Amino acid sequence: MNLSKTIHCYSRQISATVIMAVGHYLLLSVNIYADEKLDGLACRSIHLQFGGQDVACFYNQIRIKETAPGTYFCVCGWNTGYCGLQELFDGRKLLIFSVWDQAHGDDPRIVDEEKRVRVVHQSDGVRIRRFGGEGTGGQSFYELDWQIDTTYQIAIAANTNGPRTEYTCLLYDPASSTWLQLVTFSTPTGGSLMRGCYSFIEDFRRNGESATKVRRAEFGPSWSKKMDGTWIPLNFATFTGDSNPATNIFAGVSGDNFQMATGGNVQCDKYQLKDRLELELPQRDAPNEILLLDRGLKELRTGPEKG
């Protein structure tokens, strides 16, 4: 995929672009596509890179502490897609889940059928569309009026099916103690799972005023599942940012979670870009929700694929 292209529906910058461009591997560089033009217009996009190869499931928690219209808190990202919580320009909130076609270009109408994302499962209340302009692929929207200081748990499961991989977005419902299967997308991968897991915070409003607003969240506990079914705690992450030169960014650790903030009066503290963060309380035992998730993964619903 072209490094000069962006791949998020509201305008993605360097982080995910590099991931897609390096052959489905790990986000490594933060200065390939310069976007100094965003200086003073937008908060700097910042990321936690967990890495990993052959990941069968990526589980993460998020607690949003401060937000503003035009914010994307990506909870679970990997080499062919991402999922997280957004606040739109009008204040509406939702969960978004996107998976990319394995094709070059920005026009979704001309992508060969066999290279397109297909819909395997769609729950009630979920909207799905194809997108273009920043790469092409499938995208889903689930209205979720998420709240500040509330924990949300999201998991992305990957299952190979011949030359394609099915990616399922799951949201934990604490009221019923169950995992909700929102969407399953299928895309050509050559039979690989997930690589290069990450999270990020992004300001996609970019109107100058948005750069004065703080976006802050806590991520974790974070876990990944290997092909053999073993769950691995993600106790380390690398702090990176895009090429926006803004310096009002922050990363830190507290107990069993990572912290990030960008914009407004945020100040860079102990950790600098490219630093490796280590949790103060390394995780050893998977939370009960992961045990429930394992059981739920055995009951995933599928159906005829739709283009």
pLDDT recorded at residue 144: 97
- Extended strands (E) in 227-295: 231-233, 236-241, 249-254, 257-262, 276-278
Residues 6+ apart with CB under 8 A from 81: 97, 98, 99, 100, 137, 156, 167, 185, 187
pLDDT recorded at residue 38: 84
pLDDT recorded at residue 35: 65
pLDDT recorded at residue 108: 85
At 64-122, the pLDDT tens digits run 999 999 999 999 999 999 999 999 999 999 999 999 999 888 888 888 999 999 999 99
Name the pLDDT band for 307 (thresholds 50, 70, 90).
Answer: low
pLDDT recorded at residue 53: 94
Residue 34 above 80 pLDDT? no
106 or 17, which is more confident? Answer: 106
* DSSP at 37: G
At 44-70, the pLDDT tens digits run 999 999 999 999 999 999 999 999 999
At 124-182, the pLDDT tens digits run 999 999 988 878 999 999 999 999 999 999 999 999 999 999 999 999 999 999 999 99
Supply the pTM of this predicted model: 0.88
Mean pLDDT, to the nearest integer, of 257-280? 95
Name the pLDDT band for 3 (thresholds 50, 70, 90).
Answer: very low
Q: Quick one: what percent of the chain has pLDDT higher than 70?
A: 86
The CATH code of the domain at 14-27+42-297 is 2.60.120
At 224-242, the pLDDT tens digits run 999 999 999 999 999 999 9
Mean pLDDT lowest among 33-42, 100-109, 118-127, 246-255: 33-42
Mean pLDDT lowest among 161-175, 237-251, 275-289: 275-289
* Mean pLDDT taken over the chain: 87
Q: Is 128 exposed, middle or buried (0-12, 13-18, 19+ CB in 10 A)?
A: middle
